[in-house]
Amino acid sequence: MRKLSILVGLVLMVTFVSSFAVAAPIPAASADQNLVLGDDDDKDDEAKEPKKTRSNRGKWAAKKGNSKKSKSKPKYKPWKEVLKDAEEQEGLFNVHTKREDVFFEIKEDQLDKPFVTFLSLSKGIGARFVLGGLPISGSVMFDFHRVEDHIQMRQLNTRFRATDDEALDNAIDLTFGNSVLFNLPIASENEKEKALLVKMNPVFLSDISDMGFWLRLALGKSVQMDKKKAMYRKVKAFPKNIEVEALLTYSPGDRRGLNLPSVPDNRFIEIGVHYSIHMLPENPMKPRLADDRIGYFLTPHKDFSRDGSENFFVHYINRWRLEKKDPHSSLSEPKQPIVFYLDTTIPHKYRKYVTQGIELWQRAFEAAGFKNAIIAKEVGDDPDYDAEDARYNTIRWIIADEPSFGAIGPSRVDPRTGEIIDADILMEQNMLASFRKAYRRYSGPEAFVNMDPMMRYLKDPSLNPDIADENQLRDHFFGSGAMCDIGFGFTQNFEFMQLVLLTDGLEENGMEVPMEFVGEALVFVTAHEVGHTLGLRHNFKSSISTPYDKLNDRRVVEDIGMTGSVMDYPSPNVSRDRSKQGYYYTPSIGTYDQWAITYGYTEIPGDKSPEHEQWSLKSVVNRANEKRHHYGTDYDTYPAGALEPLSMIWDLGDDPLAWAEERMGVCRDILNNGNLEKRVVGDGESYAPLRNAVTTLFIQEYRAAARALKYVGGQYTARPHLGDNSGQVPLVPQTAAEQREALQFIIKNAFAKDAFAVSPEILNKLQDDKMQNWQNRMYTYGRRFDFPLNGWVGGLQNALVTQLLHPMRLQRMADVEYKVEEPYRVAEMFRTLTSEIWTGNIVPAGKTAIMQRNLQRIYLDHLISMTVTPAPGTPWEAIALARLQLTRLQSGINTAQQRSGLSDEANAHLLESQARITRALDAKLDSSF
């Protein structure tokens, strides 16, 4: 019996081992060995394997250890079984849709090749920068890389290169890695077609867009994506691109204080994410090197083979690939023009003006040698048209519950060369809304100041997380360094233009703005955004190209533009002498625009390197010193370190202070001519429109006064290169006389007793809007139903004082004392402000006394802060001078308190101010010693 048991056991053991040998899979390849697909008997694979570089490492057919065909079970499910009942679309990748699943068919020659993807919002929340149509990211270059039974989707590192140096290229590969976004299981294999099948749901129905993070910044609340609710809205395959749109639902963890009226149920926030996957050009466009004297958006990288250069950075300009049909002709049509399609969302009444704005740029391209280089087309009945399809450059209209940008012109580029391969322009309908319907009617002065770019960029994000979050959000959706703030200012300027038309009787109350005036504005703003899609940055210095006394000369403006560039932020041109009124907005691109396009798009014959092409264009860039080619962009204008008084937004002409004086006069004429009420308020209407008209005029006056700010402590700037024969130097300090004139301009127009004066008759008619809705909430804390005159005046004055006393301005003024013989000193500016605001009027009287006392408090607050808790970077010289001003004020207040007959208000103000000064002088300054 025992022998029988042993025998049975041996039989069972042999049976078990045999069955295991049949069912066991082939041993996995080693970590550095790739699987073979196709013919296992190809023994020459190892010899034929290409050199492993960053572009071809992990090729399809690396040799496998065992050359004999295996008789094991198939590794993957049969192709036909996986795709049973699936719908197929042929395209860049063949796409198979099976109920709720999407599969990509990836061919052998598509592995380890670079592709580019663009992510955009196809559905937003209508507020807080999360708006349908906005890009979510720039160009993301990636590849599909096989690792055994999986396909890695890798974002490729495009920042580091070593041109024509194999050893350094290997060192870069050793140092810098890629980012593995997904590790996707292979669903099936077609050995005959040498193709792999991969389910893409983990990619498209995920939070790879990082919208969870961006929604947290936008809403101030953490959110989670609900994977069970993720779904495809559409999937389209085209020969050179794949378009996928997914609908994702996010839920906030904490809804307290979440005010999101644009979403029906804020527990469930639906976001549409559009993915556009493109094949990169097989033959990369020859890049063009950037020049700092001409404003293009850039595609930078580090080239570590540039040992002899100052640094390793190389900057390519972003531009379209334009090639002449006839390379021997001085003016030729391009092989492929830049085409913008007018989306069906654009109201018909606006389309001809949008077309004009697009084709305004033809003149610039003619200067570069191209005829009909950029054209506009109606969508018509094109069955393939899809606004998100990256083969179509579009202009679309969107509507936001809370407008965020007005207009924006983002583009996507090939990160290898800077070639623009897709662009879409978005226009908010709200931007052209009548001022009677402006959504900011309910905003107070603080809201305006927070929207003023000059104020926003003065704040230190490291000290204010809310500002840091907003800046990060804006940079992400609008492109770092490419943010266009034209929307808010354009809306306010359009309201001002309409107010002028109303008071002139050119527009009847309650009627739409005459289309000819809307058309002028729309042509300009379209041309501005198209300019961005051509690669051009803002040029806020271009307004000086047109002489101030020629702004209303139509022939001059038609020839050279109202500004040197449509990439400026101009104010509408309003002449105080209405009989001499010219164009309100420029009808033409400017001289700078033609020059910049000439540099970026002129075709250089022959197969020359980018360096040789740049040398060929030397005669073009050396004209940068000409007045009509002056250039100053965002970072020359907004940050606290920006010091050029001629690089400003919302001005016109080559004499900014003369223009600002005229704009002040226009505003006061309208405010005080006695016709404002009857021109703005129609029969049977409430007085609410009158309130918004007054705030519109206040904003224009503030902007005019702010033109003078950069003259104080400012310096003229240029971008000369050694040997360009311009005779310029990069920095020329303002003269003391110029700075004194500018400060007196601010004092006269913003700090004087009658600054922002409004008659009591008008004030008593500035009715608030009492129609309650989700934006106009009547129970908001601090809501004033009467007009907060002191709040508006104080808010605007505080903005000006804040900028005058900013640490970086004070630093520059202190440094200039060493550079020039007769400087305008910090001490003189303090003495002037103290005298004009305080000691020259130490006991204000009359109807504006409260406003004057508020201005005194504002200035006193800054002196105390500078003395006790100075902002980082405040010069010690300024801190000492602030303390000196406090001692002088203390003495002056002591004398004023001896006067007889002081009112209670004046006495209280002096007592409070004296007490605050005493506490500040007695306080210990925080120090490290």
Summarize the confidence of residues 351-365 as an average pLDDT: 97
What is the C-alpha to C-alpha distance for residues 719 and 292, in angstroms, rounded to an integer? 7
Environment class of 265 (CB within 10 Å of its CB; exposed 0-12, middle 13-18, buried 19+)? exposed
Q: Is 804 helix (H, G, I), strand (E, B) or coil?
A: helix
Under 8 Å between Cβ of 291 and 140: no
Q: Is 206 helix (H, G, I), strand (E, B) or coil?
A: coil
DSSP secondary structure string for all residues of 415-434: TTT-BEEEEEEEEEGGGG--
Q: Which of 118-122, 465-469, 509-513, 650-654 has the lowest mean pLDDT?
A: 465-469
Q: Is 624 helix (H, G, I), strand (E, B) or coil?
A: coil
Under 8 Å between Cβ of 583 and 663: no
Comparison of pLDDT for 386 and 253, the residue scoring more: 253
Query: What are the C-alpha distances in Å from 791 to residues 443, 459, 514, 749, 762?
Result: 12, 21, 35, 17, 17
What local confidence, expressed as pLDDT, does residue 33 receive?
33
Joined tokens for residue 469: 């979050």
Environment class of 429 (CB within 10 Å of its CB; exposed 0-12, middle 13-18, buried 19+)? middle
* Residue range 811-829, pLDDT digits in tens: 999 999 999 999 999 999 9
* Residue range 79-128, pLDDT digits in tens: 999 999 999 999 999 999 999 999 999 999 999 999 999 888 888 887 77
What is the C-alpha to C-alpha distance for residues 274 and 524, in angstroms, rounded to an integer? 30
What is the C-alpha to C-alpha distance for residues 321 and 337, in angstroms, rounded to an integer? 9
Angle between helices 789-804 and 688-706 (to 10 degrees): 20
What is the C-alpha to C-alpha distance for residues 202 and 198, in angstroms, rounded to an integer? 10
Sole residue written with tokens 């804020």: 266
Alpha helices (runs of H) in 87-184, residue ranges in sequence order: 166-175
Alpha helices (runs of H) in 574-638, residue ranges in sequence order: 591-601, 610-616, 618-621
Q: Is 232 helix (H, G, I), strand (E, B) or coil?
A: strand
Query: What are the C-alpha distances in Å from 370 to residues 326, 840, 904?
Result: 10, 63, 75
Under 8 Å between Cβ of 275 and 117: yes
Summarize the confidence of residues 46-53 as an average pLDDT: 41
What local confidence, expressed as pLDDT, does residue 456 receive?
66
Closest Cα to residue 281, out of 162, 114, 120, 408?
A: 114
What local confidence, expressed as pLDDT, does residue 309 receive?
74
Q: Do you know the residue count of the chain?
A: 929
Residues 6+ apart with CB under 8 A from 57: 112
Residue 129 has pLDDT above 90, yes or no: no
Angle between helices 904-922 and 849-868 (to 10 degrees): 10
Beta strands in 526-586 (DSSP E): none
Under 8 Å between Cβ of 501 and 515: no
Environment class of 228 (CB within 10 Å of its CB; exposed 0-12, middle 13-18, buried 19+)? exposed
Comparison of pLDDT for 9 and 777, the residue scoring more: 777
What is the C-alpha to C-alpha distance for residues 431 and 296, in angstroms, rounded to an integer? 26
Relative to beta strand 420-428, strand 407-408 is antiparallel
What local confidence, expressed as pLDDT, does residue 459 receive?
65
What local confidence, expressed as pLDDT, does residue 837 receive?
97
* Residue range 843-854, pLDDT digits in tens: 999 999 999 999
Residue 723 has pLDDT above 50, yes or no: yes
Residue 700 has pLDDT above 80, yes or no: yes
Q: What element of type H or E holds 376?
A: strand 374-378
Alpha helices (runs of H) in 256-394, residue ranges in sequence order: 351-359, 362-367
Could you give the angle at the alpha carbon of 62 between the alpha carbons of 57 and 65, nearest 5°?
A: 140
Q: Count CA atoms closer than 13 A to 33's CA, side-chain side.
A: 12
Phi, psi (5° rounding) for residue 102? Answer: -125, 130
What local confidence, expressed as pLDDT, does residue 254 receive?
86
Q: Provide the CA 32 distance to its chain's centre, in angstroms.
A: 44
Summarize the confidence of residues 225-243 as an average pLDDT: 92
What local confidence, expressed as pLDDT, does residue 68 receive?
46
What local confidence, expressed as pLDDT, does residue 54 receive?
41
Residue 144 pairs with which residues in a beta bridge? 111, 153
User: For the chain, what is the radius of gyration of the CA atoms?
Assistant: 33
DSSP 8-state symbol, 124: -
On average, the pLDDT of the chain sits at 84
Phi, psi (5° rounding) for residue 159? Answer: -85, -20
What local confidence, expressed as pLDDT, does residue 406 receive?
65
Neighbours of 312 (CB within 10 A): 15
Residue 863 has pLDDT above 70, yes or no: yes
Q: Which amino acid is at 740?
A: R
DSSP secondary structure string for all residues of 52-93: --TTTTT-TTPPPS--SPP-SPPSS--HHHHTTT-EEE-SSS
Residue 916 has pLDDT above 80, yes or no: yes
What local confidence, expressed as pLDDT, does residue 19 receive?
40
Residue 403: pLDDT band (50, 70, 90) is low
Comparison of pLDDT for 683 and 914, the residue scoring more: 914
- Most confident of the ranges 49-58, 478-487, 788-797, 911-920: 911-920
Under 8 Å between Cβ of 243 and 235: yes
DSSP secondary structure string for all residues of 848-917: THHHHHHHHHHHHHHHHHHHHSPPTT--HHHHHHHHHHHHHHHHHHHHHTT-SS--HHHHHHHHHHHHHH
Closest Cα to residue 356, out of 520, 493, 569, 516?
A: 520
Residue 273 pairs with which residues in a beta bridge? 121, 246
What is the C-alpha to C-alpha distance for residues 682 and 684, in angstroms, rounded to an integer? 6
Summarize the confidence of residues 441-468 as an average pLDDT: 58
What is the C-alpha to C-alpha distance for residues 187 and 172, in angstroms, rounded to an integer? 34
User: Phi-psi category of 505—alpha, beta or left, where left has phi over 0 and alpha has psi -120 to 50?
Assistant: left
What is the C-alpha to C-alpha distance for residues 16 and 22, in angstroms, rounded to an integer? 10
Closest Cα to residue 653, out of 644, 662, 642?
A: 662
Q: Which of 89-93, 221-225, 430-434, 665-669 has the lowest mean pLDDT?
A: 430-434
Q: What element of type H or E holds 816?
A: helix 807-819
Q: Is 114 helix (H, G, I), strand (E, B) or coil?
A: coil
Q: Is 289 helix (H, G, I), strand (E, B) or coil?
A: strand
Residues 6+ apart with CB under 8 A from 162: 168, 169, 171, 172, 303, 304, 305
What is the C-alpha to C-alpha distance for residues 146 and 156, in angstroms, rounded to an integer? 15
What local confidence, expressed as pLDDT, does residue 645 receive?
96
* Residue range 502-559, pLDDT digits in tens: 887 776 666 667 788 889 999 999 999 999 999 999 999 999 999 999 999 999 999 9
Summarize the confidence of residues 293-311 as an average pLDDT: 87
Residue 450: pLDDT band (50, 70, 90) is low
Residue 235 has pLDDT above 60, yes or no: yes
Q: Which of 75-79, 123-127, 772-776 has the lowest mean pLDDT?
A: 772-776
Residue 470 has pLDDT above 90, yes or no: no
What is the C-alpha to C-alpha distance for residues 640 and 803, in angstroms, rounded to an integer? 8
